[in-house]
Each structure stands twice: as C-alpha cells, then as structure tokens.
Structure 1
Amino acid sequence: MRFAYLGSGSRGNALVVEAGSTRVLLDCGLPLVEVDTRLARLGLVASDLTAIVVTHEHGDHIGGVAKLARRNQLPVWLTAGTRAAWKAAPDEWLRTLTPHRHLTIGELDVMPYPVPHDAREPCQYVFGFEGRRVGVLTDAGSVTPYMREVLSGIDALLLEFNHDRAMLMNGPYPSFLKQRVAGNKGHLSNAQAAELLGSLDISRLQHLVLTHLSETNNTPEHALAAASDVLGAQPDWLVCAHQDAGLDWRHVN
C-alpha cells in the first residue's frame, strides 16, 4: 500500500492511494493538464486510476473532478449533500456514499467519516488494505470525539496543519475571512492539529504528513515545529506535502 500527493493547499488538492491494482484519487482541485503532469511524476497516467473519491464541493478539492471523470470514464464517490451542492456534477459517473458506512473500491476498504466544515455534507476518509490503514483529515474547523476514534491506531496520518493562528490574525486576510478560517467549521490550526495528534494512539504510525498548509498564514517550519513538539523529535517519517511539488510515493509496510 502506498500514497502520494499531486498537490496540497488552497490552490488545489489531489491524493493518490494505491493498493494492489487499485488506485483511488482523493479529490482533484487541479486543471487536467496539471493532473496529467503530476501523475507522470509518479509514473502514472490518468487511465491507471480506478475511481475518484470526493471530500466536499469546494473548488480546491473538486474543481477538476468533472472533466477528469468524463474524459477517463471514472466513477466518482461522494455524499448526497456534496452531490446536491455541486453544480458541475457529471451525473452519469456519480456514486453516492454514506458517512460511517464502509465501501469497497477494488482492493481498498474505504471508510468515510463526517467532519465540521462549511460545506453541505463534508467527510474525510480512512483507506484500508490487508490490515494497514491510511487516515486523511483536512478541511475541518474543530475536532470531534469520533474523529479521534477513527484516526487512532492508524499506520499513516495525512493531517491538516493549515495555519499559524498568530500569522492568520496578523496577516493580510480581511476580517470575515480570518473568522471563517479560524472558525469551528473552517480549517485546523497548527495548535489544533498538534493537540489532536497528541490525543491519538500513534504506536503504529509510519508516516505523518502535514497537509493543506496555507501559503499566506503558515510555513513548513511552523507546522513541523508544532508536530515535532508533540512527537518529542522530528523523525524522518514526518514531512509536509506541498502545493506544487506534492509528495512523492510513501509506502505503508
């Protein structure tokens, strides 16, 4: 089992999760030309994909999904709320999922779970294969007990460290946008993500990837320092995913 990011941040998100012959793309907020270029960096082409799974309807997560699905005839899995809110939805390729209910895509077990974010019915995912689990959490303004339960004891955690609160509040964003980002249905700060990390069972953790870093209100150094404080060190399996460079393949052993 392995995973890689095509890109992570407010200008577009896309993650590939692979198990056996199954390759799922989680979100696609990138133009098709970028998708093709970044897949090629990973040794893939779009026709290698099995399906697309969507977290929510915001453009940095869903902007490229319709064109990619239609061009490559890929099924798109998403919640009923996301489907209702998505004006460009390619209806012929859509498959509806229910949070809390597992589904199987090829060789991958996919567990969606709801998160607090300012979208219609947002959810995040844990991907499983032969006893190994990769958990993804971005685009959540706060942490629920169920989120802690779902993400505890996993093998790889891909976790939003969106902003440094001081940088956000002292930065250039207008007041309403600062309140949205910092709100209970916005994005996780470094401190919130670190607190969540500290509450989890990380005894099996092989990879910790810090994702969805704000280019305006955060730096990799701030995010890595917050995570390292919780871990007591900065191990080589702690990395940031980047907006343009993404993240190369990481293997879950």
Structure 2
Amino acid sequence: MDYGEGNKIITLCTENAGKVGVLVRGAKKVKSRHAALTQLFTVGEYVFFRNGTGLGTLNSGEINQSHHLLREELFKAAYASYACELLDRVLHDEETGNFWFQQLHACLQALEEDKDPAIIIHLYEMKILQAAGYGPELYSCISCGRELADESFFISPMLGGILCRSCKHLDPPAMSITPRSLKLLRLFTQLDLRRLGQIDVKDETKKELKSIMRAFMDMQLGLNLKSRSFLDQMEKYEM
C-alpha cells in the first residue's frame, strides 16, 4: 500500500519472523533502489529494523526470485494475488512462519511453472482451511461416524465434512460428490504443496471441486476477498 508521497508499506511472509509489515522509504520514486523489492510475489532477503512488534523499516534487501512472470500474465497474477490475500486475511502474524513461507513459495512456484492453477489453488485452500481449524472430515460421516464405502456420498460445507445417506436430512442442501472428487479432496488434506507434481484432472471434476471448495471457503471462513472477485471475472473471460 502507498504511504505518503513516496513511500510504501509492504507485508512480508517470513521464514522466521512471522508476518511483518515494513515501511519502504522512497519506494515510489523512479530511481529508488528498493522499488523492485516491493513488487508483488517477490522472494528475497529483507533486512529491516523493528522496535518491538510494530511496523518495521527496510534497510536493505536482495531479490532471490522476482516471479516477474506472475505479474506479467493476467491469469497467473489473479491466482497468485488470491493465494497471497488468503494467507494474509486468514492467518495472524504469530501463526505464519517457516511452514507457510514454504507453502506460499511452493504455490507461486507451481503457478509460474504452468501447473494446473485450479488444482494448485484448491490444494492451497485446503491447507488454509486446515491451518484455520476448519479442515473437513472426509473419511467417515460427520454425524454418525460411520465409514463410507460403496455408496452415494454427500458433502456438507456447513457441517464440515461428508454425510452418509441416512444423515443427509441434517443438511438438506448438502452436495453430492463423486468418488473421483472425494479421492482428490482426501489427497489435498495429506499433500504438501512442495510435493505437488503434474496432476491431470478432467474438466468436469475440476468444476465439481471448485463448487465444493468455494462452498467450504464461504461457509467456514466467510471472507470477502477482492482478489477472488477479480479471479472470478477472469475465469468468466477465459471461458
């Protein structure tokens, strides 16, 4: 965000200091030596001074990865912005650290490497839900506890997991889910973004996953994210 005539305040997700707000003096000036360090999605080493837990002030820095391709391609920028805003809005300063630095880094890297952005983001959303304490129950009925095998599945974003047919009445709007999508959601709960390879998912399955994950994010977190609204507009344009 802009601050004053020539300054910026940036938010850093760091490996060892949590989530930190840092003032970068002169960042908006044409000849600023720090301007590049304030670009979105930049990975680098930042040296800043902070008195207590307040706003820090940048002293110097060095870029490791600029991720300029994410800023240059509109669709990639939309997905990457959503990943960053989601992390910023859901997790508090003290909850971020090495794990979330690595997950965000892996998410941006995967987007830049042209891996399926929808799958990357749904996996990332699942990690966010789990970190916030809203990870869904996907192996047994959320109500009666019965393990579900060869039968019709329903998933309830409101109740936080899958329902058997006998318990479906507890949430009439519960959504049906195909075995393929359920298998992928279970994989998302266990998979680290750093281990994500190429996953080939059919369009109808991706459509189902998007509907389910959107319902979970809305029901459990209830966030109004500008980046998601923009992403929705971009996806409509892409179609």
Q: Given the two structures, how large is their TM-score scaled by the length of structure 1?
A: 0.22
Look at both structures and tell me which one has the larger radius of gyration over its CA atoms.
2
Question: Which of 1 and 2 has higher RCO (CA within 8 Å, sep 6+)?
Answer: 1
More helix by share: 2
More strand by share: 1
